[in-house]
Amino acid sequence: MFKKLVSMVVGLGLVVSLAGCGSAGNQSGDGKTDVRIAYFPNITHTQALVMKNQKTLENKWKDKCNVSWTSFNAGPAEVEAIFAGEVDLGYIGPVPALSANAKSNGDVKIISNVTNAGAVLLRRKDSGIQTVKDLAGKKVAVPQIGNTQHLCLLDLLTQNGLKTVDKGGDVTINASSNADILNLIDNGSVDAAVVPEPWGTTIEKNGNAEVLLEYDKLFLEGNYPTAVVIASSDFIKEHPDLVKEFLQVHEDAALFINENGEQARDIVNKELESVTGKALAADVIEKAFGRMKVDTALNKEAVMTFARISKEEGFISTVPEESDVFTTEIN
């Protein structure tokens, strides 16, 4: 199989709005279908933030569905919620999505892309690091073991002839929350970090770190997904029309974001503030948006590259067939 995602659900997340519970397709007392959507309060899940703020699904489905949004801070917790039947559709990183697909024997499917790139490699200014090869003997932070940024880092190390300590090398990986990574860089506990936006820009602006590799140099020239949408096969089969309508609203949100940058950033920032209690500075969110691409088109090749790296690193036991990972034709 693959490395243990999490022993128990760690912080099942912040329930942002409530609208029923139960299995996929469960109907509330009012006869409406409950549709429960998971997301992260992060700009890489930007369509979810815009859709939630604008209530586009709630308005579209007002006569037939109750929509709820649940915020998570880590992929494994969201995956466990999906397996527990508490989530129907989820915005999540591609690597946790692959883990969910493997753990469910192909039942959890990737149905759309969300954003691409949106992560950078930072170095502490006094670390002495000038190139990737200088990470030898250093401590590098990532948000979580086995997540998208971690796999990007592992591939980068391999490409530069470096290995982590557990593989007999001398690069130490430190898994910490993005907020903690900022503090670890400040106090000199780590020398470098791979983090998603807006944390890359936030940590850079804080003054003690600078970018070693930009978003388009970190992995596959930036042509890889940072977030995707997943759903269970049962939900897709039971509610194909709802899934198709959701995907259309999701695509419309992407179009709106790409055509109305400033307005979209304001909406996202307001939503972030409502969930986290803190808005981003205007210059931070603008720069962070510039390091990612909002795009619903799936780069299946990049996802399967993550699958191969996951297999090599022991996070999954086998590389799945592409047809078992994706469902893009909803009948």
Average pLDDT over residues 189-213: 95
Domain boundary among 187, 222, 257: 222
Q: How far is CA 54 from CA 48, 145, 268, 270, in A?
A: 10, 34, 10, 11
The set of residues, in sequence order, having a beta carbon less than 8 Å from that of 161 and lying 6+ positions away, is 133
For tokens 């510039």, the residue is: 290
Are residue 39 and residue 81 in the same domain, yes or no? yes
- Please say if the pLDDT value at position 25 is more than 70: no
Q: Which is more confident, 2 or 211?
A: 211
Please, what sign has the CA dihedral across residues 266, 270, 272, 276? positive
Largest CA distance in the chain: 63
Per the structure, the count of domains in the chain is 2
Decide if 2 is inside a domain.
no
For 70-125, how does the pLDDT look when each residue is reduced to its tens digit (9 = 90+)? Answer: 999 888 889 999 998 899 999 999 999 999 999 999 999 999 999 999 999 999 99
- Please say if the pLDDT value at position 189 is more than 50: yes
pLDDT at 329: 81
Decide if 329 is inside a domain.
no
**Lowest pLDDT segment from 31-35, 126-130, 161-165, 213-217:** 31-35
Average pLDDT over residues 12-21: 34
Which tokens in the block code for residue 7? 């022993």
Are residue 202 and residue 237 in the same domain, yes or no? no
Bridge partner residues of 175 (DSSP): 142
Residue 265's pLDDT band, with cuts at 50, 70 and 90, is very high
Report the distance separating Cα 74 and Cα 12, nearest Å.
9
Average pLDDT over residues 283-301: 95
Are residue 81 and residue 111 in the same domain, yes or no? yes
Helix H, strand E, coil C: the string for 131-148 is: CHHHHCCCEEEECCCCCH
Are residue 234 and residue 310 in the same domain, yes or no? yes
Average pLDDT over residues 196-203: 93
pLDDT at 27: 58
The set of residues, in sequence order, having a beta carbon less than 8 Å from that of 60 and lying 6+ positions away, is 245, 249
pLDDT at 16: 35
pLDDT at 2: 36
Are residue 239 and residue 94 in the same domain, yes or no? yes
pLDDT at 252: 97
Q: Which is more confident, 276 or 67?
A: 67
Decide if 324 is inside a domain.
no
Decide if 181 is inside a domain.
yes
Name the residue type at position 330: I
Residue 4's pLDDT band, with cuts at 50, 70 and 90, is very low
Are residue 150 and residue 95 in the same domain, yes or no? no
For 155-184, how does the pLDDT look when each residue is reduced to its tens digit (9 = 90+)? Answer: 999 999 999 999 999 999 999 998 899 999
Question: What is the per-residue DSSP string for 194-258?
Answer: EEETTHHHHHHHHSSEEEEE-HHHHSGGG-SEEEEEEEEHHHHHH-HHHHHHHHHHHHHHHHHHH
Decide if 6 is inside a domain.
no
pLDDT at 275: 82
Domain boundary among 184, 206, 222: 222
Report the distance separating Cα 219 and Cα 216, nearest Å.
7
As to burial, measured by CB atoms within 10 angstroms (0-12 exposed, 13-18 middle, 19+ buried), residue 134 is middle
Are residue 75 and residue 54 in the same domain, yes or no? yes
Domain that holds residue 245: 14-116+223-319
Are residue 211 and residue 264 in the same domain, yes or no? no
**CA nearest neighbour of 229 among 321, 97, 52:** 97
pLDDT at 76: 84
Q: Which is more confident, 27 or 318?
A: 318
Which CATH number goes with the domain that contains 191?
A: 3.40.190.10
Decide if 293 is inside a domain.
yes
Decide if 4 is inside a domain.
no
Are residue 111 and residue 252 in the same domain, yes or no? yes
SS3 110: strand
Q: What is the pTM of this model?
A: 0.87
Domain boundary among 161, 190, 222: 222
The set of residues, in sequence order, having a beta carbon less than 8 Å from that of 325 and lying 6+ positions away, is 98, 101, 106, 109, 110, 300, 303, 304, 307
Residue 277's pLDDT band, with cuts at 50, 70 and 90, is confident
Are residue 97 and residue 246 in the same domain, yes or no? yes
Are residue 259 and residue 236 in the same domain, yes or no? yes
**Lowest pLDDT segment from 68-82, 132-146, 251-265:** 68-82
DSSP state of 293: E
Decide if 328 is inside a domain.
no
Residue % of the chain over a pLDDT of 90:
79
Helices 240-259/46-54 angle, 10° precision? 100
Are residue 262 and residue 233 in the same domain, yes or no? yes
